[in-house]
Amino acid sequence: MSDNPVLTFRFRLNHGDFQVALAHDMRLAGITALFGHSGSGKTTVLRVLAGLEARADGHVTYDGVAWQSDEPRRIFVPPHERAVGYVFQDARLFPHLNVVGNLTFAEARSRSRASVTDIDTVIGHLDLEPLLERRPESLSGGEQQRVAVARALLTRPRLLLLDEPLSALDTQRKAEILPYIARLPEHFGVPVIYVTHSVDEVAYLADNMIVLSRGRKVADGPVDQTLARLDLGPATGRFEAGVVLGATIVKHDIEYRLSELSLGGASIYVPMIDADPGAQVRLRVRARDVILAKERPKQVSSRNILQGKIVEVVEEPDTPFAETLVEISGGLIRARLTRRSAADLGLAPGVPVFALVKSISLAGGNTAVR
């Protein structure tokens, strides 16, 4: 198997009046988010890839090997032969076994597969040692999902599918488990396809994303480029619209508990980050948290004022609003404002502006500065 295998799928599947029809080729590396609103077809795609939807018409190939095909002859590789790990929205742990029993059951069924993954490594990576003797009903939702991820890893998969594993968790529990998921490809060498309707989870976890709407693919590509697109409002949600930016920690201000970051050479400030100078971080900037000005403001509370120029303006004719894309040092940001404001400011491609960022969040977290 190659280091970055290619997954190809082209299929149709009818669910009554609703049809999922998708065609996509992807080189598997890191974490790919499969994103869309409820009912967009995300889980159906995962079930087809896992071999749980034999009714699908079309083909699926992994690293050049056909898992499913209609022609020239019918091929359908059953789920257990695809070596795909699957984590559901609910953990689905065996209630009659404790945590170590759940893990050893999975490990025993996959010993014939060559892998560097072993039970001690998985337990250590997911910090499961304190939980090993407990039964599933005594675990929190986040703990159950960590065990479910560990069990999936111990099937020694070639591909790991996660179907909204955090959807039932509160914000704090999500923040606790996200770092574990983010490190899976690096620690275990397994690519991940991660289903979610949360832009924050995409921003924190994913390298690439596929956007679905009504059973069709409407966009795909690197996360930073895809989230910056102004034409995806109906699919990504206008309220949560924004971008992901990469920044480097420069230094910490101990007195005021702030961290100074470099964003393409420009300085920005966020609440102090528990990481050393030089560390790379992802930032999430929502369009609704950005204000545009034609001149640099003075004596304002916002510390984050970024110089840039307008790249694109998209008006929403049936609403009061417009979306703008602004090129700044270090990337692109979006700003949502009224059409009247855009007209008063004379906003158009090439116009220089200053972007006041009211709130910058660490992607995947709830830390923000205003």
Is CATH 3.40.50.300 what the domain over 6-227 is classified as, yes or no? yes
CATH code given to domain 243-369: 2.40.50.100
pTM: 0.88
Judge contact between 194 and 31, C-beta under 8 A: yes
Indicate where the chain has its CATH 3.40.50.300 domain(s). Answer: 6-227
Judge contact between 89 and 196, C-beta under 8 A: no
Report the distance separating Cα 358 and Cα 131, nearest Å.
Answer: 41
Report the distance separating Cα 281 and Cα 277, nearest Å.
Answer: 11
93 to each of 72, 102, 129, 330, how far by Cα in Å?
40, 7, 17, 44
HSE value, Cβ hemisphere, 13 Å, CA-based, for 209: 30
Q: Please work out, in degrees rounded to the nearest 5, the angle formed at the alpha carbon of residue 112 by the alpha carbons of 109 and 118.
A: 75
Instruction: Show pLDDT as tens, one digit a residue, over the chain (370 residues).
Output: 457 899 999 999 987 788 999 999 999 999 999 999 888 999 999 999 999 998 999 999 999 999 999 888 899 999 989 999 999 988 899 999 999 999 999 988 776 665 667 899 999 999 999 999 999 999 999 999 999 999 999 999 999 999 999 988 888 889 889 999 999 999 999 999 999 999 889 999 999 999 999 999 999 999 999 999 988 877 776 667 889 999 999 999 999 999 999 999 999 999 888 899 999 999 889 999 999 999 999 888 888 999 999 999 999 888 999 999 999 998 999 999 999 999 999 999 999 999 999 877 666 544 444 3
Backbone angles phi, psi at 242, to 5 degrees: 175, -165
HSE value, Cβ hemisphere, 13 Å, CA-based, for 340: 2
Report the distance separating Cα 370 and Cα 361, nearest Å.
Answer: 10
